[in-house]
Structure 1
Amino acid sequence: MTGISASIEVAPTQALESSDLPGLFPQGTRVYITDIGNDATDALVAAARRIHDLGYRPVPHFASRRLTTRAALEERVRRTVSEAGVTDVLVIGGGLEKPAGEFGSTMDVLNTGFFETNSITHIGIAGHPEGNPDFSNAVAIEALRQKQDFGRRTGIDMRIVTQFGFDASKFIEWAEGLKAQGIDMPVHLGVAGPAKITTLIKFAAMCGVGNSISFLKKNALSLTALATSHSPEGMVGPIENHVATTPESAIAQIHVFPFGGLKKSTEWLVERGSWPAVVPSPANYASL
């Protein structure tokens, strides 16, 4: 069985320290490296380098409103490329009400020119199927158009990577509705990997995904159910079926948030056929 393909994300400390990472994912898998503003450039570059050396494709986050100066941004881009082989990044708003430095938006970061001059070939940007409390849907669509225009202007392949959620029909409707708005970038829909429902509610609250919390609680049959494990299939199954029956679908793959742990998410992806089973080789352990 072959399922819809997937990327996954890790924290910088996981990328640097986890003994599970060698041979855990299929070679070439996009592995996103989160940045919440607490890690120095040295740590983020080292995390990307280890992901690269293990045979995966590192995709470091650049959280625009958490960045400080143009000089610091340029250094981070240059070093991730030259020291860690990065060609693919995710540029997002960053979630802060007040910018920490010189950048107020994703477009401010993209328009520096640092990505194209440092040979970045692919960029992911944020999508919000459930809306964003910080701006209207009209503003969100206009921002996507600007980022799409940036890709056409620079020749960089752009894609939309969404926040996670649990309402498959809403996510599918949002992704397929973009074409009517003139947006034709491929969409990678965010999904939460296997985890306890209480864990998912905690992370949904931290990430500001309020509608997802309501959906989870509404679909938990009892208080006892809240302590059980959530299966992502209720989200991924309908997405996969839709893509299989919609040849021109905007949905290209899923992006997994492994709140229940990297190994558990990997086992689920292998079992469902999204990833082939991986047999670690001795070479995988050379980077430990």
Structure 2
Amino acid sequence: MAAAGSLRSLLGRVRYEVLPAKATEEKVLAHVPRDVVITVTASPVKGLEPTLALTGRLAEHGYRVVPHVPARLLRDDTHLKDVTERLRAVGVDDVFVPAGDADPPAGPYQGALPVLRRLDELGRPFARMGITGYPESHPLIHDDITIQAMWDKRAHATYVVSNLCFDARVLGDWIARVRRRDVTLPVYVGVAGPVQRAKLLAMAAKIGVGESTRFLTKHASWFVRFATPGGYAPDRLLDRAAQALTAPSAGVAGLHLFTFNQIAETERWRRAALDRLGD
């Protein structure tokens, strides 16, 4: 019962990751309560502008919004300063800084660490700055290197967001490894919502031909998980990972739910999960 109560607490501390598509604002307003944090992704094809625009609009509606600011999308130091000023002007105090997928990068920043350092030099304009963690192996980077990267960034960042993981054991082992390396930053655990494969394919198609191909190629294993009968259910993953996620030593601050813009479905699932877990 204690684990159920702790899981319920985590479901009350969620972040919804959304893509800055045409209908995203309308979906968020229709289905997401104001106490849920919204994180807005950035596209290597479309650049930062759609992310910044949606962030500003959602902030005006009263949401706490966390934009993704990928290092490899920043053209230069002036661009970083402009982005910072624009976000601060709409009240943003939290940014997520991944390396990003742009290849080649738009400017001099190859990874997140130089951007985090530069933001420190600019006076830490954001109270909170998040970085990426990889429970399941990064396709190009060895696991030990990704954990070392978290260690290198720990003095600049204030929390870690784990990338998608579909295996409770792998997730628990990763959290333990991170803590053994004395990375003490709180972790938001990345979990896919109740994704419907047909809608995921439709969403991938809407983000543009080139980007859709990139998305489908990079995340082919996700589609297998979502398409296989019994292959993935967020409830099952959370139940199996409950002990690892709710242990005080884990330092899990909440859940980062990848909605893939299935926003209404994600919120319905969360409400049902809260009811299932009881008071």
Mark yes or no: TM-score above 0.5.
yes
Question: Which bracket does the TM-score occupy, shorter chain normalised?
Answer: 0.7 to 0.9
Partner of 1:48: 55
Shift of 1:253: 1.5
Percent identity reads: 22
SS in 1 for 2:248: coil
2:245 counterpart of 1:243: yes
Partner of 1:261: 262
Take 1:232 and 1:104, find their aligned partners in 2: how far apart are those partners?
Answer: 33
Task: Choose between structure 1 and 2: higher helix proportion.
Answer: 2
The 5-angstrom pairing of residues 25-174 of structure 1 reads 25-39=32-46, 43-82=50-89, 84-113=90-119, 117=123, 119-151=125-157, 158-174=158-174
The answer for unaligned runs of 5 or more in structure 1 is 152-157, 275-288
Take 2:149 and 2:274, find their aligned partners in 1: how far apart are those partners?
Answer: 35
2:195 counterpart of 1:195: yes
Partner of 2:216: 206
Q: Which moved more, 1:263-272 or 1:229-238?
A: 229-238
Partner of 1:284: none
CA deviation string 1:163-220 (max 9, x = no partner): 1121121112101221111211111111111122466699796373566566x28x93
CA deviation string 1:195-252 (max 9, x = no partner): 22466699796373566566x28x93xxxx38xx9531121222334334x2222222
The alignment's C-alpha RMSD in Å is 3.0
Are 1:81 and 1:118, in contact at CA under 8 Å, matched by a contact in 2? no
The answer for unaligned runs of 5 or more in structure 2 is 205-213
Shift of 1:25: 2.3
Are 2:18 and 2:24, in contact at CA under 8 Å, matched by a contact in 1? no
2:18 counterpart of 1:10: yes
Take 1:40 and 1:96, find their aligned partners in 2: how far apart are those partners?
Answer: 9
Are 2:134 and 2:162, in contact at CA under 8 Å, matched by a contact in 1? yes
Shift of 1:41: 5.2
Counterpart AA for 1:206: L
Q: TM-score, normalising length from structure 1?
A: 0.78
Partner of 2:211: none
Are 2:109 and 2:115, in contact at CA under 8 Å, matched by a contact in 1? yes
Are 1:37 and 1:66, in contact at CA under 8 Å, matched by a contact in 2? yes
SS in 1 for 2:130: strand
Q: TM-score, normalising length from structure 2?
A: 0.80
Shift of 1:103: 0.6
Are 1:62 and 1:91, in contact at CA under 8 Å, matched by a contact in 2? yes
Q: Which moved more, 1:56-65 or 1:39-48?
A: 39-48
Take 1:197 and 1:234, find their aligned partners in 2: how far apart are those partners?
Answer: 18
Partner of 1:285: none
Are 1:31 and 1:58, in contact at CA under 8 Å, matched by a contact in 2? yes
Take 2:141 and 2:47, find their aligned partners in 1: how far apart are those partners?
Answer: 30
Are 2:119 and 2:125, in contact at CA under 8 Å, matched by a contact in 1? no
